[in-house]
Structure 1
Amino acid sequence: MEHKTCFHCGLDASTSEITFDEKSFCCNGCKTVYEIFTVNDLSCYYDLQQAPGATPKEIAGKYNFLDNPKIVEQLLEFNDDKTQIVTLYIPHIHCSSCIWILENLNKLNPEISDSTVNFGKKTVRVTYNSENILLKDLVTLLNSIGYEPFISLDDYSIGKKEINRSIIYKLGVAGFAFGNVMFLSFPEYFEVGEFWLEQYKHLFRWLMFFFSLPVVFYSAQDYFISAFKGLRSKILNIDVPIALGIIVLFTRSSAEIILNIGSGFFDSLTGLIFFLLLGKFFQQKTYSYLSFERDYKSYFPIGITKINEEKEESIQVYDIQKGDRLLIRNEELIPVDCILIKGKARIDYSFVTGESKTVSKQSGDKLFAGGKQLEGSIEVDVLKTVEQSYLTQLWSNDIFKKDKALAFTNITNSISKNFTIAVLSIAFLATAYWMFVDSNKALNVFTSVLIIACPCAIALAAPFTFGNILRILGKKKFYLKNASVIEQLSKINTIIFDKTGTITTNKETTINYEGLQLSQEEEILLKSTLRGSNHPLSRSLYDILNEHEILTLNDYKEHLGKGIEANYNNQNIKVGAASFVGHSMDTATLNTCVHISANNQYKGKFTFYNKYRKGLSKLFNRLKKDYDLVILSGDNEGEKDNLTKLLPTKTKLLFNQKPEDKLEYIKYHQTEGANVLMIGDGLNDAGALAQSNVGIAISENVNVFSPACDAILDASKFNQLHHYINISKSAIKIIKWSFLLSLIYNMIGLYFAVTGQLAPVIAAILMPLSSISIVVFTTIATNLLGRKID
């Protein structure tokens, strides 16, 4: 019987006799999946990898529990209006084809608006229209194409992911075989004639051959798969020379055994694969440790206001407990799932769904984490504690990603590619030379060159350096969105600062009032209006006003860069710039002022005497040597004289800058060749932060979260800014030093390999040691950098 494999999943299809479109299938399920993909123009799925699919399972009635709304509610990550979002664990995700088909689910069902795969965690996050497709329908669809989700019913949550132990199993097989092959090779090593009789010699050699089979075809399969995928995509990756070396060693050794002309190199072959896997295992464990540190300990200290017995206190989001009462101000992010208790909610869920449409909510409605309040302040009761990884996931959402520059790892890929070409050329030339000089050494030379010169160490330099830097900076209260920010930070030549809330601190500001006496009703309305704003001046002013009963406002509007206005019954109040409240500017007073008008009658102004952050002058004097420094402030020129005395002479000072003015200023200077670092408070400066090459938001226990920023700096560490920039520059130097060390190692190794003085098994031991040495070097170097910061 002719052997046939299923075109979809690769299983045996010899007995099924199911064919369609001149292709064989093992069952009707696989045939149906193929038809679905073909009809929906998704047949490219099979171009990415041969037989990538899994056989769909019969699930009649299996997911009937998803008809229960309470269970569905527990599984959903987001559920509001017509939009639902769920993250499902899919064990079958294993290749690029899986990623491609799962991120094109919208072609199978147009009610699915977005699907994003996390390959490392084997999850897919799906956003869909809940009016026309239910969660049960989505799960059934995934199963029909061979991607059945794993859902645990024990606690209505996504099941625990099984740890991928394949590398441990492969390492175990390789180690077992390597030990036995070495043992069987001892008689050959020591030429024990009495024991090494003719009848045992062949037996031992064939045993070595059989021990090597699972090592080559199981333990080393990842190298072959990676090399094949790379070559098919016309890419020479770092696994090509390794795979080629393994093939040559195995082929030559097998030929010697079969033709009875020698014992082959099975000891070198199994040892090579064992030590390669050992190095790979070490790298994986180290990098997963760095990732753990980044995910669970380096998550930024965004603050939130907790209401405790009518008193308000600022706490960090990871201190939020179920049942807490929280105050969410205008423009603040909702950090947890909660119930609206008091106030008018108009929520923007674009951070979560990507759609800018807002929704209005009434008291008693459920609000989801990730929404942004846009109309005054609200009070909520907490339903769930915050997940530490949630805000980081939200921050890194693809919706807000901006291609500010190519990541530094692209340089690594380029080096690895060129390096691989050079290694293959050297290997073939050296082998050709030894074929004429001493053919017995040719195979050893070829294999040793391929193994010793593997550019793994080069490929590891950047991810390990960046990974450890992200972890260290997170511990020092400087939180970066991703590794590419480090490279961008190392390239900046211009630093732009906002003034209020950035170089000034709100905690020690002195405020004086000049004007007409406010009535009790006006002061209550002023206090209630300021309560809804997150602007640094509003927060400072709110804190000094007398305690009053808080009103639920009829209307609230905040005009960025201008001021806020509110209505309660027949009363109206405006707070902000003089022009905003309808008052002509008093040029005699040039300090920062907040003006008040009630019912269209000008009342007076609060004058702020700013307190600058500790170490500001020292910081600017350090930065001026290497960077152009600029202050862009939305305030008037009242602080110009103070700043002129405080800051270096070449610092540019620009006042009365609206948010759009700041953005245009940055854009213009970028066209002139400037690489701009913008530091602001994340509220009025969102546009400028997004436009800059690197945008840093200052966090001072304020939950004004902006995905436009690339980093969040704890306000207490503001005077350490120059250290953070220097660490970014030093990180690039560490990577370059790693490249140099790897190059030196390879040059020395290649010399011994080309001259025939290096056995393949020794090369296999040295190669992972070189990779480990790079990991150790980058880890120690980056840890030493971290000690420079207090």
Structure 2
Amino acid sequence: MDAKKCFHCGLDIVPKEEIIFDEKSFCCSGCKTVYEIFNANGLTDYYNFEVAPGATPQDIKGKYDFLENEAIVAKLLDFNEADTQIITLHIPHIHCSSCIWILENLNKLHSGVSSSQVNFPQKKVRIVFNPEQITLKNLVHILSSIGYEPYISLENYEERKKSVNRALTYKLGVAFFCFGNVMLLSFPEYFDVDEFWLDEYKGFFRWLIFVLSLPSFFYAASGYYTSAWKSIRSGMLNIDVPIALGLVVMFIRSTVDIVFDLGSGFFDSLTGLVFFMLLGRFFQQKTYNFLSFERDFKSYFPIAITKITKDRKEESVPVYDIEVGDRLLIRNNELIPVDGILMSDKTDIDYSFVTGEAIPVNKKSGDKIYAGGRQASGVIEMEVVNTVSQSYLTQLWSNDIFTKKDERSYKNLTDNISRYFTPVLLVIAFTTLIYWLFINVNIAFNVFTAVLIVACPCALALSAPFTLGNVLRIMGKKKLYLKDANVIEQMAKIDTLVFDKTGTITSNKKSTIKYEGTTLSQSEEQLVRNVMHGSNHPLSRRLYEYLQKGKNTDAENFIEVTGKGIEGTVEGNTVKVGSATFVGQPKDESLKTNVHVAINGEYKGKYVFDNQYREGLTELFKELSKNYELKILSGDNEGERQALQELLPEGTELIFNQKPEEKLQFIEKLQKQGKDVMMIGDGLNDAGALAQSNVGISISENVNVFSPACDGILDAGEFRNINYFLNFSKNAVKTIKMSFGLSLLYNAVGLTFAIAGSLSPLTAAIIMPLSTITIVSFVTVVSNYYAKKGKKNTKHDKYHILSQAA
């Protein structure tokens, strides 16, 4: 009788040690305990994703006592505040969907865990927990008790190098050795010349070939069997199922031939098949690594930060140029890009981007502040203690907290096609096998195997990832930095574009400013400038640069009311800057952009802005209006309606006096009408609208406007190329469809020859990686062609505009 399997871990149960609980069999008390834990907390769905997915928990008494040392714990934590700590743990046992499910439901095992997020490829889990309710040591014990003991190495923990997985290389080496030797020993069979054989040695060499094929069949090809078995158990047939089936059929057929002395079998084809398939997979892996689709933080975060030089001057530097010991200036609402020490007297830090908690944390001089926080009270100075992590900002941008809540039913093209591919292929293969069994039994199994191999949809599966990955890379080089490849597919579906006005279609660098009212003294101008120093709003930054430079004094009691204005106390003087009503005046009926000033309750006057629109705005909107509905949303008054109507195409909808929450509601209303909306804003007052839109793009102009709410960051200098990026995204989807057509054409031609019996399994194995090379080359060349073609058109339009102006 077959041995009973443990319900939890799947290991064979020794009859004398069997433990029966809840009508289920367990191999030990550890596995039974894990089941009891899951059962008591309503987590038995764990066993629905995979059969026996667990691991037997190990005895860890005293193993993690070092986690009681606060100094050690501080080194391990990614984030450490009074009631929130975040740690990323490496858990080797993560291997299936059940693992992901249980580890992302740790909050059900202990209320002290706020959230947990699994990185499946790296076998890591990021856990947010409350240290007042659960210590790190207790958290590790809980993980160990359910069979997910983390690997914690104190030595070089922070700079642990990525381990290189050489399993594929080893398997390829074994496959090559077996293939070469089997081919050599098979030569006499090919020539079938009596002089090559003595009957007494023929059997010996055939069995030697059989033995040499075993490492190739059982070890080198093991990945295909594992993948196929998991897909069958999950009910979703993947592309490895027909490959594994073909290998098994060929091995059994060949073994039968040798055992009954019917011939030498097809071990040469079998080992060759395994070698060439692994060679193709090795090629895919190397090519993928070469193209480097994994986003590099240096390319994807063009945000700048203000560095204070030794002579107390301010200069903007790229975020990745920050070094330990640098002094940084962080303005209101700016993101803190690195860990550091607060040098200012006190401040409030909003860590909602990291923890999801919106309550600001109070900090005083000398306290440590963490990357990912947003400055919430004026301007501060900090000293850098850690440089920018190569993955931290990317993790923050992709945090589940900022995942858009409207679950779209969108499925990519690969899923829609591959879903039916394997079942159809299996039906064709078995039909062909039955047909050939009635014609020629010897050929039947060869044909069956060739059909399974030649129709392998590897190239089909790679079409979309390689195309989107290459497009993602090209867009990054052209300074549109997207959160992930799915954004490209969403951009291709856009039919409505909504633009913010201030800081988006207007330039922060070019504008005429004049003052109207009671003349301000130089000291009063300095008061206004120092209050402006703490704000990141486009008008504040422009006015700050416009006013005469002098000694910077931090404003106390700094308050910035979104959409209204800012207030602060400088050297005992209360300064208010913003709308007329914000400074205590009647509503300004002027149709221009104004910033009003009041000092110590006395109204002084206003700064009048003559906005300068971005270069190429008119031409851009003219091109966009051919394919998209265009709308302008602005928090300003209607002073520039006439100017915009003259600049922009007829039919462009202009909406003014919009508060941030009204912008969000406007986007939501469009979506309810069935529109796919792209919002382009400055990332400050538009965070809600950016998050609500189908695609949210934040404009970056030499300020730290990084917002996790957006799907992409566009360098302001590339604003005129928005139409190019939208067309490029459409061409990317077109490229995917063309590559699908090419891949399916290859499969159709290959199947025709295989079904007719004109294609050997070995030839099919050689053709398969060649088809992958063809598809990868095709999508790379075509996407690069579209990139250059679109750029040429953009430049042509620019020169055409200049000639018209001349």
TM-score, normalised on structure 2?
A: 0.92
Alignment of 1:676-715 (within 5 A): 676-715=677-716
C-alpha contact (below 8 Å) 2:300/2:482 kept by paired residues = no
C-alpha contact (below 8 Å) 2:305/2:318 kept by paired residues = yes
Deviates more, 1:366-375 or 1:66-75: 66-75
Q: Which of 440, 443, 454 lines up with 1:441 in the alignment?
A: 443
Alignment of 1:716-731 (within 5 A): 716-731=717-732
Cα separation, 1, equivalents of 2:419 and 2:588: 66
Cα separation, 2, equivalents of 1:260 and 1:94: 43
Deviations 1:163-210 (A, max 9, x none): 222222222222221222212221111112122222222222222222
Query: 1:17 offset after TM fit, Å?
Result: 3.2
Residue 337 of structure 1 aligns with which residue?
339
Deviations 1:380-414 (A, max 9, x none): 11111111321111011111111567587633112
Cα separation, 1, equivalents of 2:96 and 2:511: 57
1:416 aligns with 2:418: yes
One-letter code aligned to 1:255: V
Cα separation, 2, equivalents of 1:545 and 1:406: 48
Give SS of 1:506's match: strand
Alignment of 1:85-484 (within 5 A): 85-157=86-158, 159-291=160-292, 294-308=295-309, 309-402=311-404, 406=408, 410-484=412-486
Give SS of 2:324's match: coil
Query: 1:637 offset after TM fit, Å?
Result: 2.8
Deviates more, 1:172-181 or 1:662-671: 662-671
Cα separation, 2, equivalents of 1:663 and 1:31: 51
C-alpha contact (below 8 Å) 2:534/2:555 kept by paired residues = no
Give SS of 2:237's match: coil
One-letter code aligned to 1:275: F
Question: Unmatched 5+ residue regions in structure 2?
Answer: 796-806
Deviates more, 1:214-223 or 1:459-468: 214-223
Q: Which of 565, 568, 576 lines up with 1:566 in the alignment?
A: 568
Residue 767 of structure 1 aligns with which residue?
768
Cα separation, 2, equivalents of 1:104 and 1:15: 34
Query: 1:50 offset after TM fit, Å?
Result: 4.3
Describe the shift of the 1:5–1:681 C-alpha distance in structure 2 as closer, same or farther (beyond 3 A). Answer: same
Deviates more, 1:495-504 or 1:739-748: 495-504
Deviations 1:328-386 (A, max 9, x none): 11111111111112154222211111222222112222111111122222221111111
Cα separation, 1, equivalents of 2:87 and 2:785: 42
Deviations 1:117-138 (A, max 9, x none): 1111121111111113222232
1:65 aligns with 2:66: yes
Cα separation, 2, equivalents of 1:49 and 1:218: 24
Residue 535 of structure 1 aligns with which residue?
537
Cα separation, 1, equivalents of 2:307 and 2:402: 29
RMSD: 2.5
Cα separation, 2, equivalents of 1:738 and 1:47: 37
1:733 aligns with 2:734: yes
Cα separation, 1, equivalents of 2:775 and 2:91: 35
One-letter code aligned to 2:488: I
C-alpha contact (below 8 Å) 2:7/2:25 kept by paired residues = yes
One-letter code aligned to 1:583: Q
One-letter code aligned to 1:603: K
Cα separation, 2, equivalents of 1:91 and 1:457: 31
C-alpha contact (below 8 Å) 1:575/1:594 kept by paired residues = yes
Describe the shift of the 1:172–1:328 C-alpha distance in structure 2 as closer, same or farther (beyond 3 A). Answer: same
Cα separation, 2, equivalents of 1:113 and 1:158: 27
Cα separation, 1, equivalents of 2:642 and 2:2: 91
Residue 609 of structure 1 aligns with which residue?
610
1:490 aligns with 2:492: yes
Give SS of 1:194's match: helix
Cα separation, 2, equivalents of 1:173 and 1:431: 31
Deviations 1:639-658 (A, max 9, x none): 33333333323333332222
1:525 aligns with 2:527: yes
Cα separation, 1, equivalents of 2:475 and 2:297: 14
Give SS of 2:274's match: helix
Query: 1:527 offset after TM fit, Å?
Result: 1.9
Question: Unmatched 5+ residue regions in structure 1?
Answer: none
Query: 1:15 offset after TM fit, Å?
Result: 9.1
Residue 600 of structure 1 aligns with which residue?
601
Describe the shift of the 1:296–1:171 C-alpha distance in structure 2 as closer, same or farther (beyond 3 A). Answer: farther
Give SS of 1:315's match: strand
Query: 1:426 offset after TM fit, Å?
Result: 1.5
Query: 1:475 offset after TM fit, Å?
Result: 1.6
One-letter code aligned to 1:574: K
Deviates more, 1:31-40 or 1:429-438: 31-40
One-letter code aligned to 1:372: R
Describe the shift of the 1:18–1:420 C-alpha distance in structure 2 as closer, same or farther (beyond 3 A). Answer: closer
Describe the shift of the 1:660–1:296 C-alpha distance in structure 2 as closer, same or farther (beyond 3 A). Answer: closer
Query: 1:107 offset after TM fit, Å?
Result: 3.2
Cα separation, 2, equivalents of 1:292 and 1:735: 16
Describe the shift of the 1:669–1:101 C-alpha distance in structure 2 as closer, same or farther (beyond 3 A). Answer: closer
Residue 745 of structure 2 aligns with which residue?
744
One-letter code aligned to 1:785: Y
Describe the shift of the 1:307–1:670 C-alpha distance in structure 2 as closer, same or farther (beyond 3 A). Answer: same
Deviations 1:568-587 (A, max 9, x none): 57643221122322333554
Deviates more, 1:230-239 or 1:567-576: 567-576
Query: 1:10 offset after TM fit, Å?
Result: 5.1
Deviates more, 1:466-475 or 1:396-405: 396-405
Give SS of 1:93's match: coil
Deviations 1:87-123 (A, max 9, x none): 1222332333332332233333332222211111121
Residue 804 of structure 2 aligns with which residue?
none
Describe the shift of the 1:96–1:169 C-alpha distance in structure 2 as closer, same or farther (beyond 3 A). Answer: farther
Describe the shift of the 1:305–1:38 C-alpha distance in structure 2 as closer, same or farther (beyond 3 A). Answer: same
Describe the shift of the 1:465–1:440 C-alpha distance in structure 2 as closer, same or farther (beyond 3 A). Answer: same
Cα separation, 1, equivalents of 2:523 and 2:773: 70
Deviates more, 1:698-707 or 1:337-346: 337-346
Give SS of 2:504's match: coil
Give SS of 2:780's match: helix
Query: 1:754 offset after TM fit, Å?
Result: 0.8
TM-score, normalised on structure 1?
A: 0.94
Cα separation, 2, equivalents of 1:666 and 1:2: 62
C-alpha contact (below 8 Å) 2:706/2:713 kept by paired residues = no
C-alpha contact (below 8 Å) 2:105/2:116 kept by paired residues = yes
Cα separation, 2, equivalents of 1:338 and 1:435: 74
Residue 17 of structure 1 aligns with which residue?
17
Query: 1:35 offset after TM fit, Å?
Result: 4.5
Cα separation, 1, equivalents of 2:172 and 2:15: 36
Describe the shift of the 1:3–1:733 C-alpha distance in structure 2 as closer, same or farther (beyond 3 A). Answer: same
Equivalent pairs, count: 789
Give SS of 1:662's match: helix
Deviates more, 1:169-178 or 1:519-528: 519-528
One-letter code aligned to 2:86: I
Identity among equivalent pairs (%): 61
Cα separation, 1, equivalents of 2:297 and 2:690: 26
C-alpha contact (below 8 Å) 2:447/2:755 kept by paired residues = yes
Give SS of 1:437's match: coil
Cα separation, 1, equivalents of 2:144 and 2:656: 60
Query: 1:42 offset after TM fit, Å?
Result: 3.8
Cα separation, 1, equivalents of 2:5 and 2:220: 23
Cα separation, 2, equivalents of 1:333 and 1:320: 14
Query: 1:158 offset after TM fit, Å?
Result: 6.2
Residue 581 of structure 1 aligns with which residue?
583
Cα separation, 1, equivalents of 2:720 and 2:351: 35
Cα separation, 1, equivalents of 2:544 and 2:570: 18
One-letter code aligned to 2:67: L
